[in-house]
């Protein structure tokens, strides 16, 4: 019988890959060299939380290869518990290459080499479920459900109501390119409805479910106590249910606009937002403050070219999150802002 796992603040489960970032702008066909990094929605969240002072665990499956070594070592270097990661001698670690241009432009290219990866073989019997459940929060995403039928069954098992189940955080992360059977809208909706906290972009809710606006989204998700609808540059709105869904269908809406950001790359911003929100949730901060921390963590990712950017120091984020509404509205964050040791008023650069 396996020894019991220590309870961490957040456990995450999903695929992490080695990312190759171009040395200069241009098409993948023209870029002569790449720098190696790491990327993966769930491991990004675990790393950001560990860097912010929380205990976190990443659970995954990588190949018994050099890329798998690199991933495990890099993620562990953030302070993340990686002892539940399993190595697969028969399948490779996934990798991907991307161009330097932002993914919001038509020139952006990403080439994934993840089909048949070790992570796609994650299953109920191939993952230590106890490691995932030994957490205050279990964070999952819709990306894992797209990897294989076995991964979908795994998420179904982890999100099923059960005694002692941790709080489940679910980021919809709808990636149409990963799905081949057209079942993604229904499956993602089913998984979201089993979660306690749901993160979903207004754009992906329109694309996946044909839902327009926060009220329509939250009514389609009657079970979660908290639904966070991300609205890009406009900010995010959290819908909190205080009573039975039938009596409180929309819940209380708490909107918080995003600060102005000089964007370098959008990659990883959604994962960073989830990490910031969960960090503030674990600390018991008010809902409005949780959203501000989500925006600040996202701003750290938006102002960095890397797929995984260090979050702001906790005291720095706390000072900015405590700004009054006028000062928050004047806040503008550019590259390097997380390293700035400034008083809150000095961070305002209209």
With the C-alpha atoms ordered 203, 103, 301, 75, is the resulting torsion angle positive or negative? positive
Helices (H), 141-248: 142-145, 149-159, 184-193, 202-209, 214-220
Q: How far is 190 from 294, CA to CA, in rounded Å?
A: 25
Q: How far apart, in Å, are the Cα atoms of 105 and each of 101, 118, 295, 306, 314?
A: 7, 31, 22, 17, 33
Measuring CA to CA, how many Å separate 159 from each of 103, 106, 138, 210?
A: 31, 36, 9, 24
Write out the H or E segment, with its range, that includes residue 167: strand 167-171
What DSSP designation does 2 have? P
Q: State whether residue 307 is helix, strand or coil.
A: coil
By annotation, the residues acting in catalysis are 271
State how far the alpha carbon of 85 is from the alpha carbons of 11, 48, 138, 220, 294, in Å: 12, 18, 16, 35, 27
* Three-state DSSP state, 119: helix
Residue 29 CA to residue 26 CA, distance in Å, equals 8
């Amino acid at each position: 019988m396996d020894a019991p796992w220590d309870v961490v603040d957040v456990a995450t489960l999903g695929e992490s890959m080695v990312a190759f970032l171009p040395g200069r702008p241009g098409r993948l066909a023209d870029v002569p060299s790449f720098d190696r990094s790491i990327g993966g929605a769930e491991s990004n969240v675990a790393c950001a939380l560990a860097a912010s002072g929380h205990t976190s665990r990443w659970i995954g499956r990588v190949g018994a290869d050099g890329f798998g070594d690199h991933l495990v070592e890099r993620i562990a270097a953030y302070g993340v518990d990686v002892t539940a990661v399993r190595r697969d001698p028969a399948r490779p670690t996934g990798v991907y290459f991307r161009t330097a241009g932002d993914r919001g432009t038509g020139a952006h290219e990403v080439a994934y080499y993840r089909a048949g990866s070790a992570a796609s073989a994650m299953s109920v019997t191939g993952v230590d479920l106890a490691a995932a459940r030994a957490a205050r929060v279990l964070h999952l995403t819709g990306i894992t459900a797209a990897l294989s039928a076995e991964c979908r069954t795994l998420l179904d098992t982890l999100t099923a109501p059960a005694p002692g189940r941790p709080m489940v955080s679910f980021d919809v992360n709808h990636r149409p390119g990963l799905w081949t059977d057209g079942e993604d809208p229904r499956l993602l909706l089913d998984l979201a409805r089993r979660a306690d906290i749901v993160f979903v972009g207004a754009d992906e809710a329109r694309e996946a479910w044909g839902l327009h606006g926060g009220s329509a989204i939250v009514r389609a998700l009657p079970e979660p106590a908290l639904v966070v609808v991300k609205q890009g540059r406009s900010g995010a709105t959290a819908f909190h249910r205080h009573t039975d869904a039938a009596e409180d269908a929309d819940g209380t809406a708490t909107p918080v606009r995003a600060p102005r950001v000089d964007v370098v790359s959008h990659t990883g911003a959604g994962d960073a937002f989830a990490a910031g929100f969960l960090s503030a949730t674990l600390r018991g901060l008010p809902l409005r403050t949780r959203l501000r921390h989500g925006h600040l963590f996202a701003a750290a990712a938006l102002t960095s070219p890397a797929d995984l950017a260090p979050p702001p120091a906790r005291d720095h984020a706390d000072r900015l999150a405590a700004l009054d509404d006028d000062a928050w509205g004047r806040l503008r964050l550019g590259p390097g802002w997380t390293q700035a040791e400034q008083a809150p008023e000095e961070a305002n650069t209209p």
